[in-house]
Structure 1
Amino acid sequence: MTEAAIFLPLAEAYDRWARVYDLQDNPMVFGASRIVERLAKTVRGQAVVELGCGTGRHLVLLKQNGADPLVGCDLSAGMLAQARARDLSLVLFQQDMAQPLPLADFSADLVLFSLVLEHMADMTGPLREAGRLLRPGGRIVVIEIHPFLSLSNVAAHFRDGGTIVEMPTFAHPFSDHLNAAAAAGLRIAQAREWHPRDFDGPVPDKLFKRGPDCPLLVEFELRPMTSDRQP
């Protein structure tokens, strides 16, 4: 039997997803969380901003590893309610990440995007805002569905009972990432492709749906093109 599918606006879809987001067996969410676990080993004493912070799972993990302060924004009130329930100390804003955050320039040592830029037709605005927030020596980390998959119609969706819920997504080839970074005054300092075989320990079976060598996620570290930015 074919499952029914509905298409919802972005905030409405994530509001509906929020209650079960951290409970579902989602290989992309699992992989992104493992990448952030690795990143967390490097954040002690750093100020972190996550654009598209969702349920706050990454911010709490970074906090547990010594990051402070921690700020997040998200378009979905439902996702932010989950984040507040997880940790009341998080500073959270409900807004479109393409709009300027009410934060001063040079506020962050790390700006994180995880599985959110696929929802932006043009990634330049959020990346430019991330660059504005970045302190000298800071970095922006982007984790996204690998372009090989996104260009094959793999995109954010979830099952709610017998219904598949879809939402606005945009498949970005590598050129989109390169061009958006350059337009925002950023350069790609490092890039890594993540495959199912790269994740240690227990992993969900769904991770190997396309085999151990199929690239699932891509991770970019972005830094300003010029090193003369001063607070």
Structure 2
Amino acid sequence: MNNQEGYNTWAATYDTVINKTRDLEAKVLRKTLAGHKFSHILEAGCGTGKNTSWLASLATNLTAFDLSEEMMNKARQKVNDTHVTFHQADLTQNWPSLAQPADLIVSSLVLEHIEDLDFIFNEANAALGNNGLFYICELHPFKQYSGSKARFETNEGLVVLDCFTHHISDYIKAAVKHGFTLQEIDEWFDEDNEKELPRLVSFVFRKI
């Protein structure tokens, strides 16, 4: 199955199965953005809404979109805020038009499924206002080198989704090419195993 079909299937169990990557990223986001307030946040790949309600608490308006309608249905069930708008959309196609430029874009555990980072950063630049921020958190490429990929179990067996390995330098080069400067970069380890490979890498880029 393709990734859209895969995430539609995974939606039923995504929030309930043990997932260290999902849970660590939620902590990373909150640590990175704590104390900030934004006029308009664009959540590019909201999934089941694991971060959407928290992001809504930081924003006057929040626009969330995802490729998977079933994942987004889960998000809609969690989020009752009237200032949150959901759209079904593909990150690899033109992003939803916004009534006002975003001052923060959030992309969490999405870009491993996207081959062309240039397109993503080009769309992000168009969606952000001047000095807007672009937060990205992804499975660390070291984990990818060791064979880790987004995957889940079904009654028929293991489903492994299509993934692409992006080096840390790939993100930075694409960002610079499309008018961003790097503000923060961090590597994140499992709390019980900080001597092993980092699980996640996070970036905060600023549009210049």
**TM-score, normalization by structure 2:** 0.91
**Stretches of structure 1 lacking an aligned partner (at least 5 in a row):** 1-7, 198-207, 227-231
Select the residue among 167, 185, 194 that pairs with 1:212.
Answer: 194
| Number of the residue aligned with 2:4 | 11
Q: Tell me if 1:223 matches 2:180.
A: no
- Measured at CA, do residues 175 and 45 of structure 1 come closer, stay the same or move farther in structure 2, by a change above 3 Å? closer
Return the offset for 1:162. Answer: 5.8
Q: Tell me if 1:60 matches 2:53.
A: yes
Q: Which amino acid aligns with 1:61?
A: W
Supply the distance in 2 between the matched residues of 1:46 and 1:38 (Cα, whole angstroms): 19
Q: Tell me if 1:94 matches 2:77.
A: no
Q: How does 1:1-231 map to 2 (within 5 A)?
A: 8-63=1-56, 65-88=57-80, 89=82, 90-104=84-98, 107-161=101-155, 163-197=157-191, 208=192, 211-213=193-195, 214-224=197-207, 226=208
Supply the distance in 2 between the matched residues of 1:74 and 1:61 (Cα, whole angstroms): 17
Supply the distance in 1 between the matched residues of 2:183 and 2:29 (Cα, whole angstroms): 18
Of all paired residues, the percent bearing the same amino acid is 30
Supply the distance in 2 between the matched residues of 1:22 and 1:66 (Cα, whole angstroms): 23
Return the offset for 1:66. Answer: 3.3
CA RMSD of aligned residues (A): 1.8
Q: Which amino acid aligns with 2:78?
A: R
Supply the distance in 2 between the matched residues of 1:21 and 1:108 (Cα, whole angstroms): 28
Supply the distance in 2 between the matched residues of 1:29 and 1:102 (Cα, whole angstroms): 25
- Quick check: 1:52–1:72 contact (8 Å CA) kept in 2? yes
Return the offset for 1:107. Answer: 1.6
Return the offset for 1:182. Answer: 2.4
Return the offset for 1:128. Answer: 1.5
Structure number with higher strand proportion: 2
3-state DSSP of counterpart to 2:105: strand
Indicate the larger mover: 157-166 or 146-155: 157-166
Return the offset for 1:125. Answer: 1.0
Moved over 3 A (4+): none
- Measured at CA, do residues 222 and 187 of structure 1 come closer, stay the same or move farther in structure 2, by a change above 3 Å? same
- Quick check: 1:195–1:217 contact (8 Å CA) kept in 2? yes
**Equivalent pairs, count:** 205
**Stretches of structure 2 lacking an aligned partner (at least 5 in a row):** none
3-state DSSP of counterpart to 1:129: helix
Deviation digits for residues 123-167 of structure 1, max 9, x if unmatched? 111221112111223200000011111122211111124611111
Larger radius of gyration: 1
Supply the distance in 1 between the matched residues of 2:86 and 2:55 (Cα, whole angstroms): 15
3-state DSSP of counterpart to 2:16: coil
